[in-house]
Each structure stands twice: as C-alpha cells, then as structure tokens.
Amino acid sequence: MIERAVKRDETIFVPQIVLCELVSVLSFAYRFKREAIAGFLHQLRRGAQLVVEGAEEVKRATDAYAAGRGDFAAPQHIAK
C-alpha cells in the first residue's frame, strides 16, 4: 500500500487507533521492546507518504512511551 502511494504521489491517513493497535501487536504478539516500538512510531510519523492523525500528540505520546512514562491503549481481551 505504501509503495503504491509513493508511485502515485499519494498520502495515507493513519488514525491514532491504528497506532494503538500496532503497539499492542508489536509488544504482545511479537515481543518487541519499548525502544524499538518507539523508534518505529517516530519513523512512521516522519514518513513522507503518511499523514498521522494528531502528529504532535503522537510525538509527545511516543516520547513519553520511549521514556517509560507512558503507554498506548491495549485491547481489553489480551490477558496479562
């Protein structure tokens, strides 16, 4: 999808809820570390073809998450 957007010089809108789900999947299903997830979120936010909903809010949330002071919403059905 991203490659197609690049070829067509289009942008892709990324809602914040998608980022919350992405963090949940990367952390719970794939066991990525917080630092790696935060780095990926920063890269997504800076992507030329992506328009992240509330980009400045996402930046602040990602900075807090990387520092261990914040978290992204996790689905209620995931048992801890």
Confirm whether 73 is domain-assigned.
no
Alpha carbon distance 7, 16 (integer Å): 25
Confirm whether 76 is domain-assigned.
no
pLDDT band at 74; cut points 50, 70, 90: low
Q: Which residues span the domain enclosing 12?
A: 6-66
Alpha carbon distance 26, 19 (integer Å): 10
- What are the residues whose beta carbons fall under 8 Å from the beta carbon of 36, sequence distance 6 or more? 26
Confirm whether 50 is domain-assigned.
yes
Confirm whether 25 is domain-assigned.
yes
Q: What is the pLDDT of residues 13-47, one digit of tens each?
A: 999 999 999 999 999 999 999 999 999 999 999 98
Alpha carbon distance 6, 64 (integer Å): 30
Confirm whether 1 is domain-assigned.
no
